[in-house]
Structure 1
Amino acid sequence: MAGAYLIGIIFMVISMLVSWRLRSKFAEYSQVGLAVGLSGKEIAEKMLRDNGIYDVRVLSVEGQLTDHYNPADKTVNLSNDVYYGRSVAAAAVAAHECGHAVQHATAYSWLQFRSSMVPFLSIASSWMQWIILGGILLLNTTPIPLAIGVALFAATTLFSFITLPVEYDASNRALAWIERTGVATPREHEMASDALKWAARTYVVAALGSLATLLYYVSLLMGGRRSD
Structure 2
Amino acid sequence: MAGAYVIGILVMLISLYVQWRLKSKFEEYSQVGLSNGMSGKEIAETMLRESGIYDVRVLSVEGRLTDHYNPQDKTVNLSPDVYHGRSVSAAAVASHECGHAVQHATAYKWLQFRSQMVPFLSIASSYMQWIILGGIILLNTTPIPLMVGVALFAATTLFSFITLPVEYDASNRALAWIKNNRIVNEREYIMSADALKWAARTYLVAAIGSLATLLYYVSLLMGRRD
TM-score after normalising by structure 2: 0.99
Residue aligning to 1:60? 60
Residue of structure 2 equivalent to 1:130: 130
In structure 2, what residue type is equivalent to 1:204? L
CA offsets, 1:92-143, max 9 Å, x none?
Answer: 0000000000000000000000000000000000000000000000000000
Q: How many residues align?
A: 226
> Partners in 2 of 1:224 and 1:93 — Cα distance?
47
Give matches, 1:1-228, under 5 Å: 1-226=1-226
Distance (whole Å) between structure 2 residues aligned to residue 77 and residue 178 of structure 1: 19
CA contact (8 A) 1:8 1:213 kept: yes
Q: d(CA) in 1 for partners of 2:110 and 2:29?
A: 30
Query: Distance in 2 between the 1:114 and 1:225 partners?
Result: 34
Deviation, structure 1 residue 58: 0.2
Q: Which runs of 5+ in 2 are unaligned?
A: none
The one-character-per-residue Cα deviations of 1:139-174 (angstroms, maximum 9, x if unpaired) are: 000000000000000000000000000000000000
Identical pairs, percent: 81
Amino acid at match of 1:188: E
For the Cα contact (< 8 Å) 1:143–1:225, is it kept in 2?
no
> Residue type of the partner of 1:71?
P
RMSD value, Cα: 0.5
Alignment partners' CA distance in 1, 2:6 and 2:136: 19
Deviation at 1:225, TM superposition (A): 2.2
Which runs of 5 or more residues in structure 1 are unaligned?
A: none
| TM-score, structure 1 normalization | 0.98
Q: Does the CA-based 8 Å contact 1:97-1:170 persist in structure 2?
A: yes
Contact 1:48–1:102 (CA<8 Å) still a contact in 2?
yes
User: In structure 2, how many angstroms separate the alpha carbons of the residues matched to 1:97 and 1:225?
Assistant: 46
SS for the counterpart of 1:16 is helix
Deviation for aligned residue 1:2: 1.8
4+ aligned runs moved over 2 Å, structure 1:
none
The one-letter amino acid of 1:98's match is C
Alignment partners' CA distance in 1, 2:7 and 2:119: 30
Q: Deviations over 1:46-96 (max 9, x none)?
A: 000010000000000001000000000000000000000000000000000
Give me the whole-angstrom Cα distance separating, in 2, the residues matched to 1:49 and 1:75.
14
Amino acid at match of 2:61: V
